[in-house]
């Protein structure tokens, strides 16, 4: 028979067991939560062996400057501000064309010649006025001598002087008329001396540059100021590179904003430029705005209509934590994660909020600080290892 003391101890033990059971059964949610937390911690952490650690490259989280950018595509064009349409000032027929498209020309170099009836008329008038001027000058000298010996009256001298002045005025007017055609004083003096009338007018290049268009051909009739011009010459030391920017990005761009331009045909080469003009309207079919930049091209490497890619910096640099792209894992639910470590053996998975990717690094907006270390190459291995561990 049990004594009284033994019975009391037995009852206390039964009460404790029953109380614990009631405590657990009375708060099942808390028990489940603790179990889930324990399981979650297990699913987000992993410890690897020394041999496995050789497959994982640990890198520090560093602060780097990131700049908000916008990109666009476009093309190369000639600088229309320095492109000259070399027109004929007078109607006529083209006799010769001295250049071809793509030729480099110097200022004052002959481009083409035109047989102009207007020039024939102007030169004929010059030769005639030169003859009248010469005759009037001789008559004036003769009249002065006659007055000196009293063989003529003062009235005759005055008339000869008036005639000579009229002839001189007509002669200078005729020279000015021929000068409009581009003839020099030396060329006019030669024409007067030879008295040969030629309607050939040589059209010269007004600038140094390259022939970018040739519409002229021998025998073609041209009118003064008519288009297209027989020859167009452009200064190719600077080019326009025009970007087609979406209407959503256009409001973020401003004049003077720097841009980096890469040419599809020239991989690895980058040109620096800045915005010099922003279109005033949106192209309806494409919903894009033309944005013009100017690029120095002294070697003439850029050709018209070459495809180009633009990158515009639209904000000042911002310092942010960053890691290499290999250190970021996209999980099955779409979240971005990285594996943080202190010793290179134990890693903890941490969710991230990422930003831009520039110069081989990814901007980390949330989830890491610049005093931590993460797995770079090998982060995928750790993610797969945790999945295996959870099974």
Binning pLDDT at 50, 70 and 90, where does residue 9 land?
very low
123 and 184 both lie in a single domain:
yes
Question: What phi, psi does 229 have (nearest 5°)?
Answer: -65, 145
What is the C-alpha to C-alpha distance for residues 120 and 122, in angstroms, rounded to an integer?
5
Of all helices (H) and strands (E), which one includes residue 63?
A: strand 62-66
302 and 354 both lie in a single domain:
no
- pLDDT of 344 > 50? The answer is yes
- Which contacts of 359-363 are long-range, i.e. CB under 8 A and separated by 24 or more positions? 359/64, 360/324, 360/325, 361/64, 361/322, 361/323, 361/324, 361/325, 362/322, 362/323, 362/324, 362/325, 362/327, 362/328, 363/64, 363/66, 363/320, 363/321, 363/322
Q: Which residues, in sequence order, are CB contacts of 306 under 8 Å at separation 6+?
A: 75, 76, 263, 264, 265
Number of domains in the chain: 3
Question: Within a domain: residue 247?
Answer: yes
Query: For the chain, what percent of residues have pLDDT higher than 90?
Result: 40
Question: Within a domain: residue 59?
Answer: yes
The string of pLDDT tens digits covering residues 198-232 is: 878 888 999 998 998 999 899 898 888 778 899 99
Q: CATH code at 277? A: 2.40.30.170
143 and 187 both lie in a single domain:
yes
Question: Within a domain: residue 271?
Answer: yes
Last residue of a domain, one of 313, 342, 374: 313
Give me the domain span that covers residue 164. 118-195
Question: Within a domain: residue 343?
Answer: yes
The string of pLDDT tens digits covering residues 267-283 is: 888 999 889 999 989 99
Query: For the chain, what percent of residues have pLDDT higher than 70?
Result: 89
Length of the chain: 391
Question: Within a domain: residue 177?
Answer: yes
Specify which residues 318 forms β-bridges with. 66
When pLDDT is averaged across residues 359-365 and rounded to a whole number, the result is 92
Last residue of a domain, one of 313, 328, 361: 313
240 and 309 both lie in a single domain:
yes
Binning pLDDT at 50, 70 and 90, where does residue 33 land?
very low
Cα dihedral value 319, 321, 325, 327, nearest 10: 170
Question: Within a domain: residue 292?
Answer: yes
Q: What is the pLDDT of residue 391?
A: 66
Q: CATH code at 188? A: 1.10.287
Q: What is the pTM of this model?
A: 0.58
When pLDDT is averaged across residues 178-186 and rounded to a whole number, the result is 85
Average pLDDT, the chain: 85
Q: What is the pLDDT of residue 298?
A: 85
334 and 350 both lie in a single domain:
yes
The string of pLDDT tens digits covering residues 284-326 is: 999 999 999 999 888 888 888 999 999 988 878 889 999 999 9
- pLDDT of 65 > 80? The answer is yes
When pLDDT is averaged across residues 242-264 and rounded to a whole number, the result is 90
Q: CATH code at 49? A: 2.40.420.20
87, 224 in Cβ contact below 8 A? yes
- pLDDT of 156 > 50? The answer is yes
333 and 284 both lie in a single domain:
no
Question: Within a domain: residue 11?
Answer: no
**Is 92 strand, coil or helix?**
strand
What is the C-alpha to C-alpha distance for residues 44 and 195, in angstroms, rounded to an integer?
103
Question: Within a domain: residue 212?
Answer: no
Last residue of a domain, one of 292, 313, 334: 313
When pLDDT is averaged across residues 151-173 and rounded to a whole number, the result is 89
């Amino acid at each position: 028979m049990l004594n009284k003391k033994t019975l009391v101890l037995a009852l206390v033990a039964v009460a404790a067991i029953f109380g614990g059971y009631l405590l657990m059964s009375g708060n099942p949610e808390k028990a489940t939560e603790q179990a889930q937390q324990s399981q979650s911690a297990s699913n987000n952490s992993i410890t690897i062996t020394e041999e496995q650690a050789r497959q994982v490259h640990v890198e520090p989280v560093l602060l780097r400057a990131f700049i908000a950018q916008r990109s666009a595509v476009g093309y190369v064009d000639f600088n229309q501000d320095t492109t000259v349409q070399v027109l004929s000032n007078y109607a006529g027929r083209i006799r010769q064309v001295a250049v071809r498209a793509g030729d480099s020309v110097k200022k004052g170099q002959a481009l083409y010649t035109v047989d102009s009836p207007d020039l024939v008329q102007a030169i004929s008038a010059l030769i005639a006025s030169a003859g009248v001027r010469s005759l009037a000058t001789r008559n004036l000298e003769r009249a002065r001598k006659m007055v000196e010996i009293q063989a003529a009256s003062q009235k005759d001298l005055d008339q000869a002087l008036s005639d000579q002045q009229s002839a001189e005025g007509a002669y200078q007017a005729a020279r000015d008329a021929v000068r409009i055609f581009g003839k020099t004083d030396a060329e006019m003096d030669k024409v007067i001396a030879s008295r040969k009338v030629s309607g050939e007018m040589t059209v010269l290049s007004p600038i140094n540059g390259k022939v970018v268009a040739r519409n002229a051909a021998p025998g073609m009739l041209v009118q003064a100021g008519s288009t297209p011009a027989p020859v167009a010459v452009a200064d190719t030391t600077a080019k326009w590179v025009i970007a087609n920017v979406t209407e959503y990005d256009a409001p973020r761009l401003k004049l003077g904003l720097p841009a980096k331009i890469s040419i599809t045909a020239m991989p690895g080469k980058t040109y620096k430029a800045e915005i010099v003009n922003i279109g005033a309207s949106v192209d309806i079919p494409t919903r894009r705005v033309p944005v013009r930049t100017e690029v120095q091209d002294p070697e003439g490497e850029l050709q018209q209509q070459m495809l180009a890619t633009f990158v515009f910096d639209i904000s000042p640099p911002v310092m942010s934590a960053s890691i290499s792209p290999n250190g970021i894992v996209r999980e099955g639910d779409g979240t971005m994660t990285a594996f943080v470590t202190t010793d290179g053996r134990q890693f903890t998975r941490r969710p991230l909020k990422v930003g831009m990717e520039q110069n081989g690094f990814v901007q980390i907006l949330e989830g890491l600080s610049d005093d931590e270390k993460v797995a770079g190459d090998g982060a995928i291995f750790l993610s797969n290892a945790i999945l295996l561990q959870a099974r």
